[in-house]
Amino acid sequence: MPCNVILLEHTPRPDGLVAAAARMCYSDMGARELVARVAEETDEARERFLAGLWKSGHHSPLEHASFTFGVDGLSRVASHQLVRHRMASFSQQSQRYVKMGQSGDAAVVTPPSISSNQRTLDIFRRQAEASLAAYEELCKIGVPAEDARFILPHGWETRLVFTMNARELQHFFALRLCRRAQWEIQNLARQMLKLVRAAAPLLFRVSGPSCVTGTCSEVHPCGRRYADMEDLLSQK
Ligand SMILES: Cc1cc2nc3c(=O)[nH]c(=O)nc-3n(C[C@H](O)[C@H](O)[C@H](O)COP(=O)(O)OP(=O)(O)OC[C@H]3O[C@@H](n4cnc5c(N)ncnc54)[C@H](O)[C@@H]3O)c2cc1C
């Protein structure tokens, strides 16, 4: 199963809420008035304001807008990287309480470098199926699932619900959409960016690695900088 991510919920009108929260810092108006005032602004004015906010380093208002995703078909290799992002909240399917291999097949994400070659694919599938067979045998003997799972491959699929605010998302996209990041988390980040751009087009109009938002900050640049947002989003 390929990684599938959906946007489950998000703060209503994220662009407007962040703009209103930021305007609060520079205004003598109350919150309700400010929200109404911002709602009357043109998209261009709001976009200019939000861009200035980001450029100035005044990033905390972005924390008022949250986005909750559901993902399945992600490997535990990638989820291990995802959960390193401490400003996010996570709920991950447990391998203690949920028996693995219910479909009968080894649910392992296959990297393209392996699936593109029949010989490597055969080696990979054979070992994954053997791991699942050993897991099932251990469970049958009476070993608890929480211990039998130690035999399962690192690439085993997992499911999560997770929430990030817009500030954390900007940080996440900067790190994980860089071509130097691991391919699977890049794919996940790209799908997420497409989803949040639909929900908050002004907040995420420009978002991603430093080659897109400014100048590449990598110590070892990839030498293949993205031309623009379109180029970044169109990659497979
Ligand atoms: C290309 C790449 C390669 C990597 N390779 C490795 C590796 O080999 N080994 C490894 O262990 N990790 C590796 N990582 C993971 C990396 O070190 C971070 O753990 C991960 O990217 C989360 O980033 P973060 O801590 O900036 O973000 P978050 O946890 O999302 O935090 C966001 C920001 O909040 C602030 N913050 C959060 N917590 C604290 C805190 N306790 N104190 C101060 N400020 C805080 C920081 O400014 C931080 O940038 C890699 C990441 C990338 C993108």
Residue 4 β-bridge partners: 72
Query: Taking all residues of the chain, what is their mean pLDDT, rounded to a whole number?
Result: 95
Q: Among the atoms of ligand 1, which is closest to the Cα of residue 88?
A: 30
Cα of 171 to ligand 1 centre, how many Å?
A: 10
pLDDT for 236 equals 79
The residue whose CA is least distant from atom 25 of ligand 1 is 85
Flag the least confident range among 6-20, 84-98, 209-223: 209-223
Cα of 85 to ligand 1 centre, how many Å?
A: 6
Which tens digit of pLDDT belongs to each residue from 41-97?
999 999 999 999 999 999 999 999 999 999 999 999 999 999 999 999 999 999 999
What structural domains and CATH numbers belong to the chain? 4-90+158-234 (3.30.1360.170), 105-155 (no CATH)
Question: Which protein residues touch ligand 1 with a CB less than 6 Å away?
Answer: 84-87, 168, 171, 175, 180-181
pLDDT for 6 equals 98
Which tens digit of pLDDT belongs to each residue from 115-163?
999 999 999 999 999 999 999 999 999 999 999 999 999 999 999 999 9
Q: Among the atoms of ligand 1, which is closest to the Cα of residue 178?
A: 1
- 8 A C-beta contact, residue 62 and residue 166: yes
**Which strand ranges, in their side-by-side order, compose the sheet holding 89-92?**
4-10, 66-75, 157-165, 89-92
Give 129's Cβ-side CA count (13 Å radius).
Answer: 8
Under the banding of pLDDT at 50, 70 and 90, the label for residue 2 is: low
Cα of 59 to ligand 1 centre, how many Å?
A: 18
Report whether pLDDT(190) > 70: yes
The residue whose CA is least distant from atom 49 of ligand 1 is 171
**Which residues are known to be catalytic?**
176
Report whether pLDDT(1) > 60: no
Q: Give 63's DSSP letter.
A: G
Pairwise CA distance, residues 214 & 204, whole Å = 15
Exposed / middle / buried, residue 44 (Cβ in 10 Å: 0-12, 13-18, 19+): exposed
